[in-house]
Amino acid sequence: MKRYRLMICIASTFLILTSCGQEESHRETVEKPDKKITVLDQVDKDGKIEVKDVQDISGVRAFQFLNENTMIVSKENKQFRSHDFGPKEVYAQNLATYNLKNKSTFVLHPNNEIQHAAKLSPNGEYLFYKVAKGEDPFGYIMNLQTKKTVKIKNVLLYPSSGEWLNNSELMFITMEGKLSKANVKGEVEPLLHRDDRILDAVKGIGGIYYIGVNNQLFFFITNRRILKKSEIMWFLLSRLQTENN
């Protein structure tokens, strides 16, 4: 009898501990004549994050992690004084790598210009960035292994555009509102042949979402050359880049 009571006590404790760990779950109770059944739909929860180190990095603007210990940043390069901002003492802003372990900085392409809006290719081999010359934004692609840089040819980029399609091609909107793509050699070709102006574009699964005139949302299925249209003011893709209906 004592052993039976002990087993009940242990089982009750286990149930209490289990229910405590499932407070975030969805519960559904089914009542039977002689019993009550609780169905738990366990939702995925993020694991705990332990912060081991916090670094205050001054004088740089961070863009992306190149690897676990290295970041792509921009910083002042005082070898060059920029003359585009009048008499104020303003220096060039150059892209660099910053090593979190030894706190060292390596300037990738020293030049008297403002380099910004850096984006790594998915495989981390190329770096897309922009340079503003006056009011005109130009695009560049750098091979991070050789540090060789090529200019995206014969186009001005819309200031907020630029996204990698794959490891060797990126898409962007030109100042004329045309959706184009460039390869890592800087060669440009139209991505979508449309007379209407394109206001914004983002890559999705199997195609490209873009907004045209009158805030119309289109989905361009790249392998079938088909357009879907819907009216919307703005949109945001989910983490999985799927369409919300």
pLDDT tens for 51-104 read 777 888 888 888 999 999 999 999 998 888 766 556 677 888 999 999 999 999
Q: Residue 139 — very low, low, confident or very high, per pLDDT cuts 50/70/90?
A: very high
Q: Is residue 159 part of a domain?
A: yes
DSSP code at position 16: H
- Between 108 and 203, the more confident residue is 108
For residue 208, what are its two tokens? 């490209």
Residue 7: predicted pLDDT: 39
CATH number (domain holding residue 98): 2.120.10.60
Amino acid residing at 23? E
Q: Is residue 40 part of a domain?
A: no
Q: Is residue 96 part of a domain?
A: yes
Q: Is residue 77 part of a domain?
A: yes
| Residue 149 structural domain | 60-165
Query: How much is the average pLDDT of 143-163?
Result: 92
Quick count: other Cβ atoms within 10 Å of Cβ 33?
4
pLDDT over threshold 90, residue 241: no
pLDDT over threshold 80, residue 22: no
Quick count: other Cβ atoms within 10 Å of Cβ 37?
9
Quick count: other Cβ atoms within 10 Å of Cβ 94?
21
Q: Residue 223 — very low, low, confident or very high, per pLDDT cuts 50/70/90?
A: low
Residue 236: predicted pLDDT: 55
Rounded CA separation 127/117 (Å): 10
Amino acid residing at 207? G
Rounded CA separation 40/22 (Å): 8
| Domains identified in the chain, total number | 1
Q: Is residue 160 part of a domain?
A: yes
Whether the CA torsion 199, 169, 132, 104 is positive or negative: it is: positive
Q: Is residue 90 part of a domain?
A: yes
pLDDT over threshold 80, residue 136: yes
Rounded CA separation 99/119 (Å): 18
140 contacts 131 by C-beta, under 8 angstroms: yes
pTM of the model: 0.68
- Within 91-160, strands assigned E span 91-99, 105-107, 115-120, 126-133, 136-143, 149-151
Q: Is residue 114 part of a domain?
A: yes
Q: Is residue 187 part of a domain?
A: no
Q: Which of 134, 80, 137, 140 shows the shortest CA–CA distance to 107?
A: 80
